[in-house]
Amino acid sequence: MNSNPKSNNSYKTQWDLSLIYSGLSDTQIETDITYAESVYRAFAKKYSGKTDYLASEEKLAKALKEYVKLIDASVSKPYIFFHFHHDLDSKNSKVEAKLNMIAERAQKIGNLVVFFSVALSKIPLSLQKKYLNSKVLAPYRYFLSCAFNQGKYMLSEAEEKILNLESLPAHTLWVQGGQKMLAGRTVVWKGKTIPLPEALGMLSQLSTKDRRALGNLCRDQFIAISEYAESEMNAVVTQKKIEDELRGFSTPYASTVLSYENETETVERLVSVVTKNFKIAHRFYKAKAKMLGLEKLEYVDRVAGIGATKREYTFETSVEIVRTAFAKVDPIYAKVFESFLENGQIDVYPKEGKRGGAYCWGTPGMPTFVLLNHTNSFSSVTTMAHEMGHALHSTFSFVGQPPLYREYTIATAEVASTLFENFVFEEIFPTLTAKEQIVALHDRINDSIQTIFRQIACFNFELELHQTIRREGMLPKEAMAKLMNKHMSAYLGPLFTLTDDDGYFFVNWSHIRNFFYVYTYAFGELVSSALYEMYTENPESREKIKQFLSAGGSDSPENIFASIGIDVRNPEFFQKGLKKIEKDIARLETLVF
């Protein structure tokens, strides 16, 4: 695919965290935290308790300019450094202890400037309108717009500080505990002990008999720690209920939508349209069952490959595919990918104690890192492309925007990741045999079904979970599992038979701890499809892709996409996107039947 590929011998397959600090005992870590504390204290000393800067455009602009400087003096770098070490070795109690200590100090540092956000939120409405139209404050317009919108739900300075401090024991430590338990779990499969995350990654490549057998072993691990998960979920959901009531949010998802800077109408329309079209997923699973030669499907069968190819995609092969696909869109994307490989910014293989799944974590002022759990499957290639899509988004946003707008909202993040997945899929597809193309088309649709329909089913599950706990006080794990089955069955359809134990997948679903995050997957998939279609119709629109990647958090997702010709506010937008999936399903049915 590349006539002159770079030797993979120069690529690092483990993170080189020395790009951040030389080691866990590096004295620069404490120096950075101490410096942040001093800078934040100085800002607080200068502006806390004063109000004159709120009544003048010029004085407010000066205060905002100084506030922006705090971004480069945060404790994100030390925190992320230890977080990465924890994700690689969840059993290291010393790392976990240090991570918690840094998190606590970070919260205290953040509390030093809580007064500023509260003060902005209390600016009279008449002045808010004036400031949003001010030329002097133009560089801060979108930031102020968000501050004013969020200000409607802000409490007093003292209350905000309390909520910041209690979030560590009331949420973060609970979630970390569950992740630690899951990362340390193993299963014995055919005489070999393998980490639970690796076992989960193997499921799609196994025969029906083996897939169900290994799936049951994985499910048993979820059940084994479900008592902890019951306490965890009740605790974190109740904590959210308390905070939502204090702030005055009308729905459990309102704070998430606000923080992701979406418009509520956009998200509610997305959820409604996808839920009403679960029949599309049912149609796909009917075709899938025929291809698998099964009359009924079990929960674990949703991830099944259709078994027409045994082709493996080693890490080296995957690298070549992804690099070539990126270069065809724009050589700069391939160059960025190369730099990640050479610098040790991608951790590739699963191992015991390592966190499962995959992610990209980018923060201004430090290198961006990608975590994978590569298993030589087709999905391992697309996952690499997905996470590198995030990495490219970070790279261009961090360079293309001023400090205040370098970090983008989650709602736009998932567009970048799925867009670059599409580019890689189209790179692989022509190289496949006719049978393999059927497999690839199946896998593509399968991923879309999971990304759109499954995630919205999860959103619906979360909503009912939160509503039930708010109404009844708590929910036992058996009821959580039953509720999970209810909403998974809704999108899976009548061909699936789910047992009571299948519902315990909620134990492993990390996203439901990051409340209502899942809607962004469906949003991102549908928007990226529109952006990909724009590119295929006119390759010259590649500059619009770069424009989007470079936009950072400079505007709302709705406005960023509108600026490149994609109107997500159009009532027909999401329905139109779903029709593309129906066309793919019809194409698959024609090829197979």
Q: Going residue by residue through the chain, which has 593 residues, state the pLDDT in tens, using 9 for 90 and above.
A: 333 344 456 799 999 999 999 999 999 999 999 999 999 999 999 999 999 999 999 999 999 999 999 998 889 999 999 999 999 998 899 999 999 999 999 999 999 999 999 999 989 999 999 999 999 999 999 999 999 999 999 999 899 889 988 998 999 999 999 988 998 899 999 999 999 988 998 998 899 999 999 999 999 999 999 999 999 999 999 999 999 999 999 999 999 999 999 999 999 999 999 999 999 999 999 999 999 999 999 999 999 988 655 678 999 999 999 999 999 999 999 999 999 999 999 999 999 889 888 999 999 889 999 999 998 888 899 999 999 999 999 999 999 899 999 999 989 998 999 999 999 999 998 888 888 888 889 988 998 999 999 999 999 999 999 999 999 999 999 999 999 999 999 999 999 999 999 999 999 999 999 999 999 999 999 999 999 999 999 998 899 999 999 999 999 999 999 999 999 999 899 999 999 899 999 999 998 88
The residues of the chain that CATH labels 1.20.140.70 are 23-175
How far apart, in whole angstroms, are the C-alpha atoms of residue 473 and residue 26? Answer: 46
How far apart, in whole angstroms, are the C-alpha atoms of residue 565 and residue 534? Answer: 9
Please name the residues in contact with 151: beta carbons below 8 A apart, sequence gap of 6 or more: 117, 118, 120, 121, 122, 123
How far apart, in whole angstroms, are the C-alpha atoms of residue 238 and residue 473? Answer: 8
pLDDT for the residue numbered 433: 84
Q: Which tokens go with 65?
A: 């300019």
pLDDT for the residue numbered 440: 85
C-beta of residue 106 within 8 angstroms of C-beta of residue 114: no
pLDDT for the residue numbered 335: 97
The CATH architecture assigned to 23-175 reads Up-down Bundle (1.20)
Count of CB atoms within 10 A of residue 473's CB? 10
How far apart, in whole angstroms, are the C-alpha atoms of residue 97 and residue 116? Answer: 30
The model carries a pTM of 0.85
Looking at CATH, the fold of the domain delimited by 225-309+434-593 is given as Neurolysin; domain 3 (1.10.1370)
pLDDT for the residue numbered 3: 34
C-beta of residue 89 within 8 angstroms of C-beta of residue 154: no
Q: Which tokens go with 127?
A: 């002045």
How much of the chain is in helix, strand and coil states, percent to nearest 5? 70, 5, 25
pLDDT for the residue numbered 309: 55
Torsion (CA) 178, 463, 383, 566 in degrees, nearest 10: -150
Torsion (CA) 358, 389, 410, 572 in degrees, nearest 10: -120
Q: Which tokens go with 466?
A: 């939160």
pLDDT for the residue numbered 439: 86
How far apart, in whole angstroms, are the C-alpha atoms of residue 342 and residue 11? Answer: 5
Nearest CA to 568 out of 511, 536, 526 is that of 526
Question: In which region does residue 222 sit, left (phi positive, over 0), alpha (psi from -120 to 50) or beta (all else)?
Answer: alpha
